[in-house]
Amino acid sequence: MPPSTAAATTCIPCTAWIGLGANLGDARATLAGAVQALAALPGSRLEGVSPLYRSAPWQADGPDYLNAVARLQTSLAPLALLDALQAIEAAAGRTRPYPNAPRTLDLDLLTHGDTVCSTPRLTLPHPRLTQRAFVLRPWHDLAPQAAVPGAGPVAALLPAVADQDASVALRGDWWVA
């Protein structure tokens, strides 16, 4: 993305897709709090949240993860949204001791409108989202017609992750208190 876009804090409203995950502490409560925090972001409107999925850790040890995907209509620019997501993670006690470490909360910016970029801080679309059933299955449940810029429809990406275990743990408005 051009430097002026990267530095901007706002942009034309677009749909951003956020991957949510947690496997430490009360993961469901932490994820519910994260959904509420997403809904409260300035210039943003939460438009939907997938069912909650359970999956084994990705290339790591630790307890199973709970995962979901959220759709956010936002006027926050990509880096401003990334900063907001990382602030929500920090408030939930997220630390980054080593790659793929267990975590209290993980919020991944999967896509931001049609933005395609690669900077030291952010790559869009998320570089590994097409390899993860725990992202693609909940995303497809929430929005069967969704597409990943440069990769195609989420539905068409599912066969590549068919061998990965990710199953529905909870349907409905699991994030509502």
Is the preceding peptide bond at 102 cis, omega within 30 degrees of 0? no
Distance CA 46, CA 88 (A): 15
Give all domains of the chain, ordered by start, each with its CATH number: 3-164 (3.30.70.560)
Q: Which amino acid is at 2?
A: P
104-128, pLDDT tens digit by residue? 999 999 999 999 999 999 999 999 9
Reported in sequence order, the residue ranges of 26-162 that DSSP labels E, i.e. its strands, are: 44-49, 52-55, 65-76, 106-112, 117-118, 123-124, 147-148, 152-153
pTM, two decimal places: 0.92
pLDDT at 73: 98
Between 80 and 59, the more confident residue is 80
Share of the chain above pLDDT 90, in %: 84
122-149, pLDDT tens digit by residue? 999 999 999 999 999 999 999 999 999 9
